[in-house]
Amino acid sequence: MKNCVKRTLTSLLLGVLALAYTAHAQRTQAVIKVNIPFEFNVGDQTFPAGNYSLVRLQPALLELRDAENRSLTTVVTNFVQALTPAVAPKLQFYTEGARHELAQVWQEDESIGQQLQRPKSGTKTAPRGSVQTVAVSNTQ
């Protein structure tokens, strides 16, 4: 009898955890659709100006998709926190001359954003002090 109760409780607990994980996974897949008006880099890859979607697959995983919703790249991110939540979705780029490197992604109404890691290649990157914010419109 005790084993039956333990198995039932264990099954119930696992079911609740599975539902909580599913709800969390659905909540974390936020999408920002944006028209980026200049060539830019994500990690070591360069992309032309155009329409893109940035999809938060998991809290520390960001995917860049093209206008046809095809995955172009997926990057691991770190968390960055602001004192106040973002009023609207926004992207921030490190800039140097005509080179723009995606630095941070902020979802609307959230005070925790995603910060991309700088590429470890030998290419010259912009100093951290030169940051450009690009206003975006989330059409979803």
Residue in the structure block whose two tokens are 């607990």: 13
Confidence of residue 77 (pLDDT cuts 50, 70, 90): very high
Percent over 90 (pLDDT), the chain: 55
DSSP 99-115: EEEEEEEE-TT-SEEEE
CA angle 80, 134, 113 (to 5 degrees): 15
Residues 22, 35: contact at Cβ < 8 Å? no
CA quadruple 28, 108, 80, 34: dihedral sign: positive
Q: Is 43 left (phi over 0), alpha (psi -120 to 50) or beta?
A: left
Structure confidence at residue 21 as a pLDDT band (50, 70, 90): very low
Give the distance between the most distant pair of CA atoms in the chain.
Answer: 73
Residue 25 has pLDDT above 80, yes or no: no
**pLDDT value for 117:** 85
Backbone angles phi, psi at 31, to 5 degrees: -125, 135
